[in-house]
């Protein structure tokens, strides 16, 4: 996500899991190297690394956590996981430091920007990481056929694990699957030239919104106040989105599934990440197609 970001001088990466001796070695290598460390997640690991790295340390505290967690921090900000958008939550650290807010979401890019296809094209991301955020394949097929009927090439993005699903959709529609063949930075370059993007609550949807491309975001159980795609040039500080209801903000149309339970903020109807959400599985293709056409025509107008 940080590739090509002009504000980043260096990325120091650590493995997600390692033995305690390696952890100690990592902390020693960081020890007080920086004047200021920010912990952007309310987690013990983020606080410990920030405490080791910075002479001053600022981070988040969840009000439900024990007061002893504040020991790792010189200053702290109360973390709100429900009613504050994740972009605005991060910018609360700037407020505490007296730094002017900059609400731009920076999309990764390759060192030498790759040029996209010459003909007008759309990008779709049919397969999120978790099933409970997934729209049905029949809907994707109908949507892509409608986009191709309007003269658009269609490219499918996804992780390597998404390749099988994307291949089935590509075979049924004539779209081109790029699943597992592009880095996030390469996808960022592709998104910048697209006529439209459609995807679920996933990282590529947030990237598309940040590029300024017309974006249709399909939302089911996720809390849009917290996780709705942040439109390009949106300054906040309030969230662009309400808890319930579909609508457009800037270059983003957030299309929410139906049902009195939406958004439940839970992991699918069976309450685990491999389960599906009826609000998305029952969302008709016609509704998404109409929204996509509306976004395309609003750009041409």
By three-state DSSP, how is residue 132 classified?
A: helix
Q: What is the pLDDT of residues 101-157, one digit of tens each?
A: 999 999 999 987 767 788 899 999 999 999 999 999 999 999 999 999 999 999 999
Q: Compute the average pLDDT of residues 34-58.
A: 96
- Confidence at residue 301, expressed as pLDDT on a 0 to 100 scale: 59
Q: How far is CA 269 from the centre of its chain?
A: 22
Please, what's the b/e burial string for 90-128 (b: 16 or more CB within 10 A of its CB; e: otherwise)? bbbbeeeeeeeeebeebbbbbeeeeebeeebbbbbbbbb
**Region(s) of the chain under CATH 3.40.50.2000:** 121-300
Do strands 252-256 and 75-78 pair parallel, antiparallel, or not at all (unpaired)?
unpaired
Indicate if the pLDDT at residue 287 is higher than 80.
yes
Average pLDDT for the chain: 95
By three-state DSSP, how is residue 56 classified?
A: strand
17 pLDDT tier (thresholds 50, 70, 90): confident
Q: Indicate the fold that domain 121-300 takes in CATH.
A: Rossmann fold (3.40.50)
Q: How far is CA 280 from the centre of its chain?
A: 18
């Amino acid at each position: 996500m940080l590739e090509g970001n002009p504000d980043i001088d260096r990325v120091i990466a650590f493995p997600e899991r390692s033995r305690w001796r390696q952890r100690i070695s990592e902390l020693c290598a960081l020890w007080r190297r920086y004047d200021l460390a920010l912990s952007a997640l309310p987690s013990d690991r983020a606080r410990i690394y920030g405490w080791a790295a910075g002479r001053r340390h600022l981070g988040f505290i969840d009000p439900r956590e024990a007061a002893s967690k504040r020991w790792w921090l010189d200053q702290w900000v109360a973390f709100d996981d429900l009613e504050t958008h994740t972009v605005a939550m991060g910018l609360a650290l700037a407020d505490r430091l007296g730094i002017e807010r900059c609400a731009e979401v920076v999309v990764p890019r390759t060192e030498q920007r790759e040029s996209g296809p010459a003909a007008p094209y759309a990008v779709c991301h049919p397969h999120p990481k978790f099933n409970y955020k997934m729209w049905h394949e029949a809907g994707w097929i109908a949507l892509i056929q409608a986009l191709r009927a309007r003269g658009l090439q269609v490219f499918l993005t996804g992780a390597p694990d998404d390749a099988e699903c994307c291949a089935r959709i590509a075979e049924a529609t004539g779209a081109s699957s790029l699943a597992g063949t592009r880095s996030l930075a390469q996808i960022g370059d592709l998104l910048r030239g697209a006529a439209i993007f459609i995807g679920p609550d996933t990282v590529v949807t947030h990237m598309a919104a940040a590029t300024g491309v017309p974006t249709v975001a399909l939302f089911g159980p996720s809390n849009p106040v917290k996780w709705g795609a942040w439109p390009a040039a949106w300054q906040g500080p309030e969230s662009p989105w309400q808890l319930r209801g579909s609508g457009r903000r800037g270059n983003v149309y957030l299309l929410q599934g139906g049902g009195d339970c939406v958004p439940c903020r839970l992991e699918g109807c069976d309450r685990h990440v491999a389960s599906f959400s009826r609000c998305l599985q029952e969302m008709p293709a016609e509704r998404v197609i109409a929204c996509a056409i509306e976004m395309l025509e609003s750009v041409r107008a």
